Amino acid sequence: MNSWEAFWVGVAPQHAPALVAAAILPVLVFAARRFRARTRAELGLPGHQPRPTGTLEVWAAWLLGIAAAVHLALPLGHFDGPVLAAAFVGSGAAYAWLAMRALEGRSWRLLSALLLTATLIAYLVVSGAGGEEPDQVGIATALVELVALGLCLVPVRQPGRPRRFARFVGSAATVAVTFGVGVVVWVSSFLAHAATDTDVASDPEGAVEAVGHTGDHAHEHDHVARAQAGVIMRPIAGHHPTTAQQRAATQLADATRKAMVRYASLDAALAAGYKLPKPGTGTDVHLENKAFTRDGRVLDPQRPEMLVYAIVDGRATLLGVVFVMERAGAPGPDPGGPVTRWHAHNICLTALPPGFGIVTPFGTCPALSVNVTSPEMMHVWIVENPGGPFAEGLDAKWVRAYLASHPA
């Protein structure tokens, strides 16, 4: 999966028009300026006189303009009723009006701060209540609005008027609001990702019950598994597998289940070259076989790159396997179509302190760290779990209940 695919899979389909509108805004502004200049020249009017607008006002105008473009375009793909559509259009028009005021050097801070605060609160309420999962467009728009809000709250330093206290208060308020928005976005992202897994587990009458594939509902929210949740799902061409794909997925699950009989004992896995990580306990302990990760064999039930055990209270039970591609960016084969779906992980490698981390609420790594995407991987579970053999993960409570009823 390349970087563009990774970004696009995190965009909710209903937000695509808003993304396009924000992207073409500079083109529209440039075209409007050229048309205005040409018209004035044809009418014999004097050319455009530059306004006494500072750099801050120009930045504010662009940020407010981007927010206007997004809000005005949202009803094109996000029509949830006339009231919400009118709210989007109204807020978009207000943002456009304030952008023009900032560009013309007129007062814009107070009204912009009120509007930005209102739209951010509305977004957080909807996201926090589960009405809409955070996606790339929503998070990027929130970040734009946060920057614009910071320009509103922090007063400009003027000669002879340092205004230290006012600038401190404005800066502190900006940091606090950014932190609060980030926390809500982050929590909402993880909860939405978990909710999608729950939907998969709770829909036994999906399109492919035998292999754990559910209906459209879970797939409508694929963007929740994007970078801020630490997972990038492979984009799919369709949500419903063909008969041949259903058969292939069932065959892969059956073949894996039969092949893994040999590793029912943890000792057998260790003897075969699988390494037990530290601390080596938990409900999803992943054991990797380095030799199998470089053997050139892909999706081989006889040689899975990882085994997943539940190791609790001195007992080890094999739950499933993880097939892993040899290098990042190489797509794994999907014989089952949307059923056998691969995913990758976004990992932040931190310099201080050294180690691993996860992405920030806004989809990036923290300072002094870099974002690394892992090779694609796919789980195949050999236990009879509610989500089927191709679920992304197993619930820890379910695993503990399974261990209690299936002593190893």
Q: What is the pLDDT of residues 256-293, one digit of tens each?
A: 999 999 999 999 999 999 999 988 889 999 999 999 98
pLDDT over 70 at 49, yes or no: no
Number of C-beta neighbours around residue 300 at 10 A: 15
Task: Report pLDDT digits (tens) over 95-136.
Answer: 999 999 998 888 999 999 999 999 999 988 887 665 566 777
C-alpha–C-alpha distance, residues 141 and 161, integer Å: 33
Question: pTM (2 decimals)?
Answer: 0.59
Closest CA to 109 of 143, 140, 155: 155
Higher-scoring residue by pLDDT: 213, 87: 87
Q: How far apart are CA 267 and CA 316, in angstroms?
A: 10
Supply the pLDDT for residue 201.
39
Determine how β-strand 343-350 pairs with β-strand 355-357. Answer: antiparallel
Report the share of the chain in percent with pLDDT over 90: 36
pLDDT of residue 226: 44
Question: Beta partners for 370?
Answer: 349
- 98 versus 227: which is more confidently predicted? 98
Task: Write the CB contacts of 312 (distance below 8 Å, at least 6 apart in sequence).
Answer: 281, 282, 283, 400, 403
Residues 331 and 323: their CA atoms lie apart, in Å, by 12
Dist CA 152 CA 149 (whole Å) = 5
**How far apart are the C-alpha atoms of 170 and 222, rounded to whole Å?**
38
Instruction: Give 3-state DSSP helix, strand, coil % of the chain, rounded to 5.
Output: 50, 15, 35
Q: Is 204 helix (H, G, I), strand (E, B) or coil?
A: coil
117 and 149 Cβ atoms separated by less than 8 Å: yes
pLDDT surpasses 60 at 209:
no
- Give residue 138's pLDDT band: very low, low, confident or very high (50, 70, 90): confident
Q: Is the pLDDT of residue 92 over 90?
A: yes
Residue 216 scores a pLDDT above 60: no
Per-domain residue ranges for the chain?
3-193, 241-405
Strand partners of residue 372 = 347
Indicate the angle between helix axes 16-42 and 55-77, nearest 10 degrees.
Answer: 120
Euclidean distance between CA atoms 285 and 277, whole angstroms: 8
Contact status, residue 140 vs residue 18, Cβ threshold 8 Å: no
Question: 3-state class of 286 per DSSP?
Answer: strand
Higher pLDDT, 188 or 261: 261
Give me the pLDDT at residue 280, please: 85
User: pLDDT value at position 192?
Assistant: 56
DSSP assignment of 135-195: -HHHHHHHHHHHHHHHHHHSPPPBTTB--HHHHHHHHHHHHHHHHHHHHHHHHHHHHHHHH
252 vs 139, more confident = 252
